[in-house]
């Protein structure tokens, strides 16, 4: 079973990932497509919202079978997608190799040579520099704007990062490089939390994780190993949720001590936890903007393909910063004007864009 839901294209081509997972179903894909419409609108992209998926466990497939599934998905779908109609991208369990197969199949079927039919491609096949780090980097940019609005620009800030995978690691590396007064004091993976009140060496931790290590065996000067669930209760200024959805629920919401939460995963704070924490004064930076760096750089990749260009990584990063700083300005202004929290302000902002700027 395979799906593609096209939710809204009033602002531009449908945009959204394709996931390979045994639990993929129409209701999930429809909900995610709707969320993509809100996300692209909230950050001001001239794109709509879509989502796709195949109900399959890629871990049970060999390389040839994985390629066959990828190409067959495009064979069935190709009349309904294209550079100016619907531009899919990677999502759960899909990567540049799978997208490269899909682009090749689309090109064979249609004769398209722009490679703008999909984004998230390998660099050799029309992908964009800066794409791998984009979601993590975007979270840093959005958090910096939030802290500036709170009068904390240039002030020492302590941060705990839940989920030190691709997004969490890039967030930490960019934060450490661009904001030396920010201190990443804790990070967790699925097995353990590592903690150093003086600040972690995030580059060392990233290299360790990239080599296949787990934090339950991690050793470094000044680092204490704790259980994975300890991270959410850390006494820090900022909690970055970069792991899975529903990381903070009714079961652990009372443990959270951070003043600010950054949603880098999709839906890491449950509805009940969101209401409780908001009432308690916790400021939640919503994922609809905080984790939009990936789709923004996907848009840049599409632009480069259409124009036959290759931007430098610095150009991509500068343009990403412009988009997210502008989105954060609009978000904060909407929250002030409507006297609502940032999550509700993000949806107000998105709905205005969707209904007023057709």
Q: Which residues are catalytic?
A: 51
Distance, CA of 314 to CA of 150 (rounded, Å): 28
Phi, then psi, of 241 in degrees rounded to 5: -100, 105
Gap between the Cα atoms of 192 and 214, Å rounded: 8
Separation CA 206–CA 210 (nearest Å): 6
343 phi, psi to nearest 5 deg: -65, -50
Neighbours of 313 (CB within 10 A): 12
Query: Which two three-digit tokens encode residue 223?
Result: 């680092």
Buried b (16+ CB within 10 A) or exposed e, 30-62: eebbbbbbbbbbbbbbebbbbbbbbbbebeeee
Spatial contact of 20 and 92, defined as CB atoms under 8 Å apart? yes
Q: Which residues contact 320 (CB under 8 A, 6 or more apart)?
A: 130, 134, 137, 138, 141, 293, 296, 297, 300
């Amino acid at each position: 079973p395979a799906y593609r839901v096209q939710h809204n294209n009033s602002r531009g081509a449908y945009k959204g990932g394709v996931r390979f997972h045994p639990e993929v179903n129409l209701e999930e894909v429809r909900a995610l497509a709707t969320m993509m419409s809100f996300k692209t609108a909230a950050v001001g992209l001239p794109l709509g919202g879509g989502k796709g998926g195949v109900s399959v466990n890629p871990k049970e497939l060999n390389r040839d079978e994985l390629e066959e599934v990828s190409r067959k998905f495009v064979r069935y779908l190709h009349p309904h997608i294209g550079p100016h109609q619907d531009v899919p991208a990677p999502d759960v369990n899909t990567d540049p190799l799978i997208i490269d197969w899909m682009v090749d199949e689309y090109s064979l079927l249609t004769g398209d040579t722009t490679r703008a039919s999909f984004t998230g491609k390998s660099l050799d096949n029309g992908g964009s520099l800066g794409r791998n780090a984009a979601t993590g980097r975007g979270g840093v940019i959005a958090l910096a704007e939030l802290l500036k609005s709170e009068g904390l620009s240039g002030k020492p800030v302590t941060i705990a990062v839940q989920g030190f995978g691709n997004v969490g690691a890039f967030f930490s590396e960019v934060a450490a490089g661009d904001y030396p007064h920010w201190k990443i004091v804790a990070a967790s993976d699925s097995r353990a939390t590592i903690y150093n009140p003086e600040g972690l060496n995030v580059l060392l931790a990233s290299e360790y994780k990239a080599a296949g290590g787990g934090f339950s065996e991690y050793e470094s000067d000044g680092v204490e190993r704790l259980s994975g669930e300890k991270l959410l209760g850390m006494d820090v200024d900022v909690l970055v949720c970069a792991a899975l959805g529903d990381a903070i629920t009714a079961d652990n919401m009372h443990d959270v001590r951070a003043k600010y939460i950054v949603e880098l995963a999709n839906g890491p704070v449950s509805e009940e936890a969101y209401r409780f924490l908001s009432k308690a004064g916790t400021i939640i930076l919503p994922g609809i903007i905080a984790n939009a760096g990936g789709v923004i750089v996907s848009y840049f990749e599409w632009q480069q393909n259409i124009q036959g260009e290759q931007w430098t990584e610095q150009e991509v990063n500068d343009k990403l910063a412009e988009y997210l700083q502008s989105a954060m300005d609009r978000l904060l202004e909407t929250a002030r004007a409507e006297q609502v929290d940032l999550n509700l302000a993000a949806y107000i902002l998105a709905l205005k864009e969707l209904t007023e700027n057709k």
